Structure 1
């Protein structure tokens, strides 16, 4: 544990509408990766706090008003929460920046507005999405109800702390569930602020709870194995996702897992290179490459690979590292010393694998400069493993079939990008890739109605729009006899 600092801010668990500390006084500090000093202190929760939070969420679900409200009433509260998020945008943005080094301009202009948008979208979606009615000629009326599932455990990652937490809790709350949210221990503050704002918005106590702690042998493990939980939604590293699924299986708790990625980026010979470079830089280096969707595995047609790589390196070199609290900074440090050691470990082995660093490399402190690597063989870990840092490998290809096979030859299948001016090729290749999302001539453009998730080690299930409704509800068939016909219709 870091020593007490005079300017350390103290936050608690939010359980049953109250902010509380750990019963045994245990705590941990959130360290600003730019300054290297602790700036926030959190209670270290475990099984006891998990039990308390699940019990509070269960009471709020079983006897409280939230699941019994109409969707429009819940929408009013969620919209009020979205308003409060925007009113407190500077505080929320700065919390994510201080927790994990994200440039504050990104936090302020992207993550916080998207958090509000998630809350509004799912609040509206729950009101506006129709349910099914099944025509019958047997004198019966059949229809579907979407009932809230119950208590939802949401485990959010550290790279987009506020935004990805809202992606999980917004649909769960909109459909009438209660939630226990466990943020990553590296980035716990903004969601604690969000839980405070939820109470201010009028959300009943126990509907949104926040428990702080670690994963194994701590709050995370206790929550995922808890018998009182009805749904688990997790975003994080693939091996952790396996552990979550294993724990949930004990009680047959349904899980939604958005896991790691090794996003492929394919630049065809006919691509607009200016556009391809601009989007490729965003895909590889946004958030210092700490993005599950990062386009870190780049393939360029042999006829353009030299020119494309030259332009990519020049664009990467314009991303100057700096203080993430400075509005002009586009590249912040990595989130922690341990993560920095992991990423630089890959840099240290490039030459041994026969590759060349065209630009970039390790910087001072916890910084890693935007790095472009060429010449690596197919089985190099830099090309096969999720690094989660600002490293991109560039590999030439000759044919469409060749590159499709290369992209699909991966245990990950979260997303891919392709750049081409050939409309037929765009549709043909998009259909051939075994991934959850394909972006054509763009990156990270989201429609919240569309399914989001991956295949293979990139996850299990889909969320977004009606896909979130399916996961966070228990669909119920209702059949009403309205005529005199005694025919019961088709049997089971």
Structure 2
């Protein structure tokens, strides 16, 4: 059984109580995580606050090198962390699963370490010189979800450290173990107090809410649902915290009639079902032109029915279970409703435990909940359209605006349509791929701010303008 302590001030802290973490594939107990109190949170924040002045004062080149050195830590421990991740999250070890996630964590760490924070000269003439400096904020609080727990933790931690901040992170209670393991390893290569972690199921104390209102945390980075993001924003208002919120998506894909259904079926599948659909930027709605609608459905079903789902520790499987009962029940409810009014092409009936089969549903009415609510699981509505203007309007008729895609052999036409989508990221002939150089975040209710690249790094700084 796995047993990891919290890391506070560079030391392992067990906590007075623990909570259980279960394997969603088997229901078996994987391990126990410390159940932090508000006092534990205060100690972690105090430790980060005490470590901040020295870390912020380090020469930029030293912080850059310190973050770069963490790549090797992740690489050396990748297999052990991946195994923990599969046990608690359910995703497979291979394919686009836990090893893939650890590879992404290394790539994002390395790229973040390479970024610079130059002084920008705004004016330099006989009237004087004006410089823009970017300075660290202080203590950054990170709250992470259960779908990509290690990689999203890295997305939060590394730019904060690179900019000169210190960090307190709280992972989801469904997947705390891999983050505890990762932070303990990373913290060992950093000065004491620079990186801290607390874990809680929020039953003993609402640690997440306390973080977003904590007077000594200067910024919150949160990845999760729109509803929780709104609560974080409200709670942070009294202390004027800086915020980066990457929230839910209901991404639309639009397939134009010049596409070859057999050529795009595999890409459509992984655009929708990477991580079993439990990805904010996965495709959640697919609009297909009437001319090729049936052919796309046939090709999609033919590919999907051969994808193996099962226990992630079995290397033959490329998809795992839904991570938790709450999310499973939501998917099941949306699919049950869709089955009453639409045409279930594949799947539809829940399997044993938390395994839900890949489900494709066509010919749903426009007001179907499966179309308008983020399912965040292995179910996809396929919607017929005849007029591309109607498809664009339907894609934009959502309170979310995280991502979207257009599929066509005419790339220029697809580009023109993609630029009309009301979303933070648009793809052409693919969906959901992220890149550490490309800023990522949402429009509308899908959040505020950006992560990744220079823009993401800058969000971890305050601007100070110097007039000389």
CA distance in 1, matches of 2:194, 2:368: 47
Deviation at 1:271, TM superposition (A): 1.7
The residue correspondences of 1:331-480 to structure 2 (distance < 5 A) are 331-352=319-340, 354-361=341-348, 362-480=350-468
Q: Which secondary structure does the structure 1 equivalent of 2:347 belong to?
A: strand
- Which of the numbers 272, 279, 282 marks the counterpart of 2:270? 282
Q: Unaligned regions of 5+ residues in structure 2, if any? A: none
Deviates more, 1:433-442 or 1:212-221: 212-221
Deviation at 1:110, TM superposition (A): 1.6
Deviates more, 1:133-142 or 1:369-378: 133-142
Aligned positions, number? 465
- State whether residues 214 and 220 of structure 1, in contact with CA within 8 Å, keep that contact through their aligned partners in structure 2: no
Q: Unaligned regions of 5+ residues in structure 1, if any? A: 1-7, 481-492
Q: Which secondary structure does the structure 2 equivalent of 1:229 belong to?
A: coil
The match for 2:128 is 140
Is it true that 1:58 corresponds to 2:45 in the alignment?
no
- Which of the numbers 160, 163, 178 marks the counterpart of 2:166? 178
CA distance in 1, matches of 2:366, 2:37: 43
The match for 2:2 is 9
When the two structures are superposed, what TM-score results if normalisation uses the length of structure 1?
0.92
- Which of the numbers 19, 30, 45 marks the counterpart of 1:28? 19
Is it true that 1:125 corresponds to 2:118 in the alignment?
no
CA distance in 2, matches of 1:230, 1:66: 16
- State whether residues 15 and 56 of structure 1, in contact with CA within 8 Å, keep that contact through their aligned partners in structure 2: yes
Deviates more, 1:408-417 or 1:319-328: 319-328
CA distance in 1, matches of 2:401, 2:434: 17
CA distance in 1, matches of 2:332, 2:398: 23
Q: Which secondary structure does the structure 2 equivalent of 1:299 belong to?
A: strand
Deviation at 1:423, TM superposition (A): 2.6
Per-residue displacement from partner, 1:405-429 (whole Å, max 9, x unpaired)? 0100011110011111113311211
The match for 1:263 is 251
Q: Which secondary structure does the structure 2 equivalent of 1:350 belong to?
A: helix
- Which of the numbers 93, 97, 104 marks the counterpart of 1:104? 93
Per-residue displacement from partner, 1:383-437 (whole Å, max 9, x unpaired)? 0001111000001111221110010001111001111111331121111110010
Deviates more, 1:276-285 or 1:444-453: 444-453
CA distance in 2, matches of 1:87, 1:271: 43
Is it true that 1:212 corresponds to 2:212 in the alignment?
no
- Higher radius of gyration, 1 or 2: 1
CA distance in 2, matches of 1:17, 1:221: 24
CA distance in 1, matches of 2:260, 2:61: 46
- State whether residues 271 and 430 of structure 2, in contact with CA within 8 Å, keep that contact through their aligned partners in structure 1: no
The match for 1:297 is 285
Deviation at 1:351, TM superposition (A): 3.0
When the two structures are superposed, what TM-score results if normalisation uses the length of structure 2?
0.96
Is it true that 1:37 corresponds to 2:28 in the alignment?
yes
Is it true that 1:94 corresponds to 2:87 in the alignment?
no
- Which of the numbers 26, 37, 40 marks the counterpart of 1:49? 40
Per-residue displacement from partner, 1:224-276 (whole Å, max 9, x unpaired)? 11011100000001100011001000111111110001110111001232332
Deviates more, 1:274-283 or 1:230-239: 274-283
Deviation at 1:69, TM superposition (A): 1.3
